[in-house]
């Protein structure tokens, strides 16, 4: 990808207007100055923005400044947020952390980065509100937060002790080597998301998808084959765990993992209920299956 050309005084057009609109959104430029012309007023606003971030008072927009400006101009609800690598970061994440903190679901440091602690805060909030606890901040979760705005706007986070309640927050991720794989696009997508979630929680994680595996699995690595209904694994019979009902998945996963680990080349299969979870779209369904299955595996391994 070609490097972004620096935008400076004298430039004009849609790119300049976009910069100006984002500066106006964060309160550094009056709306009346949004005209598509990069003049002294816009340069001064860019300089102020860069100074706030410790980037130096230079009234020009390079790739780094543009990326920071995009992050700063997101507002809560502008995009769906969830735990991934690389992390989501920006003003909308900061607003989310502040809202959850004021409501009693602190994520600790309010840094605008959607990491494992923020995901845990989201899931605790969702459970409290009777929502599916998948850690995905989409339309329903945003709506709940907005409906409670009188309870959190302008208020500080409550001092709540941090306690990640899921097993993958422990050292399970770096103590156990797992290879996750599927044989079609959907199940490979679930495996890939599980791998990303593992790394987002602990960069030293040894739980990876087959697509991200750099070396051939050895005889000690647990293979986790993710299936859809009607699909059958090749080779010998191995423990097969139905995903549903997901509230007892960890309990049912434990004896299957234990049985597999007693054999050479340990392997289990997990059968998903389908491609759609609670009428959600394919991407959200993948994310829900990935979160729930990863947590169940970590509970079983711990």
SS3 state at 144: helix
Q: Which domains does the chain have, with CATH numbers?
A: 14-72 (1.10.101), 75-165 (1.10.101.10), 167-301 (no CATH)
Cβ-Cβ contacts under 8 Å for 117 (sequence gap 6 or more): 107, 108, 109, 162, 164
SS3 state at 15: helix
Q: Minimum mean pLDDT among 80-89, 266-275, 277-286: which range?
A: 277-286
Q: If you average pLDDT over residues 82-109, what whole number do you get?
A: 89
Quick: pLDDT tens for 181-225. Answer: 998 999 999 999 999 999 888 888 888 898 876 666 666 788 999
At 160, is the pLDDT very low, low, confident or very high (cuts 50, 70, 90)? low
Name the token pair of 79.
Answer: 């995009």
Quick: pLDDT tens for 4-36. Answer: 788 888 998 999 999 999 898 888 899 999 999
State the average pLDDT for the chain: 86
pLDDT at 165: 56
d(CA 32, CA 9): 18
């Amino acid at each position: 990808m070609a490097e972004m050309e620096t935008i400076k005084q004298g430039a004009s057009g849609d790119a300049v207007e976009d910069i100006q609109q984002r500066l106006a959104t964060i309160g550094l430029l009056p709306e009346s100055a949004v005209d598509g012309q990069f003049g002294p007023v816009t340069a001064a606003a860019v300089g102020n923005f860069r100074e706030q971030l410790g980037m130096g008072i230079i009234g020009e927009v390079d790739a780094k400044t543009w990326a920071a400006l995009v992050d700063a101009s997101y507002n809560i609800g502008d995009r769906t947020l969830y735990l991934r690598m690389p992390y989501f970061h920006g003003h909308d994440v900061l607003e989310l952390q502040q809202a959850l903190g004021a409501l009693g679901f602190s994520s600790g440091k309010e840094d605008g980065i959607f990491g494992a602690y923020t995901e845990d805060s989201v899931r605790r909030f969702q459970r409290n509100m009777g929502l599916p606890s998948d850690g995905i901040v989409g339309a329903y979760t945003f709506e709940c937060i907005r409906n409670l705005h009188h309870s959190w706007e302008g208020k500080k986070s409550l001092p709540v002790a941090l306690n990640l309640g899921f097993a993958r927050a422990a050292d399970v991720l770096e103590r156990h080597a797992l290879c996750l794989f599927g044989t079609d696009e959907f199940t490979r997508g679930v495996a890939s998301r599980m791998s990303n979630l593992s790394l987002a929680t602990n960069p030293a994680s040894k739980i990876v998808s087959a697509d991200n595996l750099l070396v051939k699995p050895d005889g000690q690595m647990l293979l986790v084959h993710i299936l859809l209904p009607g699909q059958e694994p090749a080779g010998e019979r191995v423990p097969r765990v139905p995903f549903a009902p997901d509230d007892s998945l960890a309990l049912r996963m434990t004896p299957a993992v234990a049985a597999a680990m007693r054999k050479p080349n340990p392997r289990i299969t997990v059968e998903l209920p389908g491609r759609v979870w609670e009428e959600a779209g394919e991407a959200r369904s993948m994310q829900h299956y990935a979160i729930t299955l990863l947590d169940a595996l970590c509970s079983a391994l711990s």
